[in-house]
Amino acid sequence: MSDSDDMPSLEDDGGEVQPAARTAGVRKVAHADTSRPERIECEDDTSDSDNEEDWQEMEEAISGKTICLFCDNVLPSVQLAFAHMIDAHGFDCVAFVCRFNLDQIGYIKLVNYIRQKRPSPEILFTEENVKWESSDYVKPVINDDALLMFDVEELTKIEEQPDHDQRTLYNEATYDELREIIVKQREVMQRMLQAVQAVSKNDNGIIKTVGDMRPEEDEGYFNSYAHFDIHHEMLTDRIRTESYRDAIMKNSNLLNGKRVLDLGCGTAILSMFCAKTGAMVTGVDMSDVIYQAMDIVKENELENTIKLCKGRLEDLDFEHKFDFIISEWMGYFLLFEGMLDSVLYARDKHLANGGLLLPSRCTLHLVGMEDMDTYEKIISFWNDVYGFKMSCMQKEVVKEASTDIVKQQHIITSAVQIADFDLMKITPNDTEFTSKFSLTVKRDGKLTGFVGYFDTYFDMPSPVFFSTGPQAKPTHWKQTIFYLPSPYIIKKGECVEGTICVRRKRKEIRSLDVGISFADQKLKYLVE
């Protein structure tokens, strides 16, 4: 983001200041009732099939990686594990299940038997006696074994053939026919995987970043930061702006005489803080606000210390490397907007040996909330709208992550850290992750949603830290809320355990797909 983020609301009680849009395509929704959270909305530029592929990948990530039955290889999905076992070990799990006509329990016993006794595939296919029928093999050998979660009944179905000779069970086909079906299924699976990778990966197999986008694709994003009200709201976020100021000024001896790159400089406020320490500063911004920044720098008689450049960082070259790279890049739920990509690019290409990013570390957190009043206004509202049911609207509302200030009294669980980003070490690939969580319930009540927030660290001799959590003074980032489809009853002392998976939206990489799995629920959210 930069000074190009969005807007602050300083009132502890939520206030009436509404943040402006932080990226292209995002629009602010004004509410007469200021207690109603702002919804992050965006026109959908993907088809249903695109979304289905995104969420299929998300569900695989939530379910965890899949360990081969015969070696230590870890595969990204059960289907690919089946394919690997055929290619590497000659073991056709589909054919084996159908040969013995295994039901779900029989399949589970088979998997645990193989993991425990480690028979070779050759021995399994030549054995006449079934050795895995014992109830001893019901207990998982590996916790959260993805193979055990696979619905074996899917292996006993085939699609209608072109000649309309419909078969319903694999074991009614000959083995040769079965092998042909398996091969076809593997080909389809590989094509689907390649299609997803073509969208989400570059030529080196690395996740696409904002630097891979064509300038015209990203024009709307930068245009959104040309609006003055955005910068006004950011600058009046005292937690944000004063934290950066303190990190700079309290460590002024480190910056004195050093070269600093201000990435996404906006109105050049951070550049001017750095210049006051005696640093030589280069500010970069793609939006037209850079022209006002030039006037601001001149007005403050700092034009001999601060050099401003208009353009995308990825398209610019500099005559020297920088001792410090400073940027206010954080978005909703930390990773929304994807500006971290540019920071990491700048680190790898323009940071001098021994240099430092400011901030240097960010952590992402999750906590549970109970706020029935807001839940009724936002979610339950659609159950009865002037006497009519609009449940279809409720489903769509739940899918969209909300941004609002969550009051401390509405927090009903402990908080947990779900990600720790050392900005000096991570890569863009690390911004996609899956993390397990366990939240301890503080009191009896109803869980109405999960709340995401981030903390920011300037690890310097005089360290500075700020939090965007419900326990801290509100910032313009507020908190990101993932509402549940229906309130979930919880008791004091129990643990709410689950998994959260964060992925970039494949057709709009500045947005996020978030999957949360808990209590046998698999929930899907969009942060866009």
**Rounded Cα distance, 403 and 264, in Å:** 23
CA dihedral 72, 77, 83, 84 (to 10 degrees): -20
Find the catalytic residue in 57, 328, 370, 528: 328
Residue 39 lies in a domain: no
Closest among 310, 268, 361 to 2, alpha carbons compared:
268
Using one digit for the tens of pLDDT, what is the confidence trace for 517-526?
Answer: 999 899 999 8
Token duo for residue 32 = 């007469």
Domain end residue (candidates: 358, 391, 419): 358
- Where is average pLDDT lowest: 126-130, 341-345, 461-465? 126-130
For residue 90, name the pLDDT band (cuts at 50, 70, 90). Answer: confident
Pair 295, 333 in one domain: yes
The answer to whether residue 328 is catalytic is yes
Q: What's the average model confidence in pLDDT over 49-77? A: 69
Closest among 359, 356, 256 to 305, alpha carbons compared:
256
Q: What's the average model confidence in pLDDT over 326-348? A: 90
Q: Is 20's pLDDT higher than 50?
A: no
Token duo for residue 145 = 């074994």
Q: What is the DSSP letter of 414?
A: E
Token duo for residue 179 = 């092998």
For residue 64, name the pLDDT band (cuts at 50, 70, 90). Answer: low
Choose between 414 and 380: higher pLDDT: 414
Helices (H), 136-256: 175-200, 219-223, 228-235, 238-249, 252-255
Q: Are 470 and 410 in contact (CB under 8 A)?
A: yes
Domain end residue (candidates: 200, 228, 260): 200
Residue 386 lies in a domain: yes
Choose between 22 and 317: higher pLDDT: 317
Mean pLDDT, the chain, whole residue set: 78
Choose between 142 and 40: higher pLDDT: 142
Q: Which residues pair with 351 in a beta bridge?
A: 322
What separation, in Å, do the N-terminal and C-terminal C-alpha atoms of the chain show?
15
Pair 260, 292 in one domain: yes
- Classify residue 44 as left (phi > 0), alpha (psi -120 to 50) or beta: beta
Q: Are 274 and 246 in contact (CB under 8 A)?
A: no
Collapse the DSSP code of 205 into the 3-class scheme (helix H, G, I; strand E, B; otherwise coil) and give the result.
coil
Q: Are 111 and 134 in contact (CB under 8 A)?
A: no
Closest among 445, 3, 429 to 204, alpha carbons compared:
429
The Cβ-side half-sphere exposure at 97, using a 13 Å CA radius, reads 25
The number of beta carbons lying within 10 Å of the beta carbon of residue 400 is: 17
CATH (domain of 260): 3.40.50.150
Token duo for residue 430 = 């690390």
Residue 420 lies in a domain: yes
CATH (domain of 454): 2.70.160.11
- The helix (run of H) or strand (run of E) holding residue 27 is strand 26-27
Contacts with 322 (C-beta within 8 Å, 6 or more apart), sequence order: 259, 260, 261, 282, 350, 351, 352, 355
Using one digit for the tens of pLDDT, what is the confidence trace for 475-497?
Answer: 999 999 999 999 999 999 999 99
Burial class for 354, CB neighbours closer than 10 Å (0-12, 13-18, 19+): exposed
Residue 387 lies in a domain: yes
Pair 312, 284 in one domain: yes
Residue 107 lies in a domain: yes
**Rounded Cα distance, 413 and 442, in Å:** 5
Pair 452, 466 in one domain: yes
Choose between 40 and 140: higher pLDDT: 140
For residue 38, name the pLDDT band (cuts at 50, 70, 90). Answer: very low
Q: What's the average model confidence in pLDDT over 235-255? A: 94
Token duo for residue 249 = 């000024």
Contacts with 63 (C-beta within 8 Å, 6 or more apart), sequence order: 78, 146, 149, 517
Residue 32 lies in a domain: no
pTM of the model as a whole: 0.64
**Rounded Cα distance, 204 and 195, in Å:** 15
Pair 378, 327 in one domain: no
- β-bridge pairing 259-263 and 479-490: unpaired
**Rounded Cα distance, 435 and 502, in Å:** 9
The CA-based diameter of the chain, rounded to the nearest angstrom, is 89
Token duo for residue 106 = 């029989």
CA dihedral 289, 291, 293, 295 (to 10 degrees): -140
For residue 6, name the pLDDT band (cuts at 50, 70, 90). Answer: very low
The Cβ-side half-sphere exposure at 416, using a 13 Å CA radius, reads 18
Pair 375, 424 in one domain: yes
**Sign of the C-alpha dihedral computed for residues 343, 501, 459 and 408 taken in this order:** positive
**Sign of the C-alpha dihedral computed for residues 101, 107, 109 and 112 taken in this order:** positive
For residue 55, name the pLDDT band (cuts at 50, 70, 90). Answer: low
What is the reported pLDDT for 57? 59
Domain end residue (candidates: 358, 384, 400): 358
The answer to whether residue 337 is catalytic is yes
Q: How many domains does the chain have?
A: 3
Using one digit for the tens of pLDDT, what is the confidence trace for 274-318?
Answer: 999 999 999 999 888 899 999 999 999 999 999 999 988 888 999
- Where is average pLDDT lowest: 18-22, 147-151, 284-288? 18-22
Residue 44 lies in a domain: no
Q: CB pairs under 8 A, 24+ apart, for 24-32?
A: 24/218, 24/219, 24/220, 24/221, 24/222, 24/223, 24/224, 25/220, 25/508, 25/528, 26/224, 26/528
What is the reported pLDDT for 47? 45
Pair 60, 182 in one domain: yes
The Cβ-side half-sphere exposure at 232, using a 13 Å CA radius, reads 6
What is the reported pLDDT for 234? 76
Find the catalytic residue in 53, 57, 337, 528: 337
For 473, phi and psi rounded to 5 degrees? -65, 135
**Rounded Cα distance, 30 and 75, in Å:** 46
Pair 272, 283 in one domain: yes
What is the reported pLDDT for 419? 96
Pair 109, 228 in one domain: no
Angle of helix 48-63 relative to helix 175-200, nearest 10 degrees, comes to: 100
Choose between 29 and 220: higher pLDDT: 220
Pair 82, 147 in one domain: yes
Residue 381 lies in a domain: yes
The Cβ-side half-sphere exposure at 286, using a 13 Å CA radius, reads 18
- β-bridge pairing 280-285 and 306-310: parallel
Burial class for 512, CB neighbours closer than 10 Å (0-12, 13-18, 19+): buried
What is the reported pLDDT for 314? 86
Domain, as residue range, for 350: 211-358
Pair 163, 225 in one domain: no
Q: What's the average model confidence in pLDDT over 514-518? A: 93
Pair 402, 349 in one domain: no
DSSP strand E in 226-314: where?
Answer: 259-263, 280-285, 306-310
The number of beta carbons lying within 10 Å of the beta carbon of residue 422 is: 14
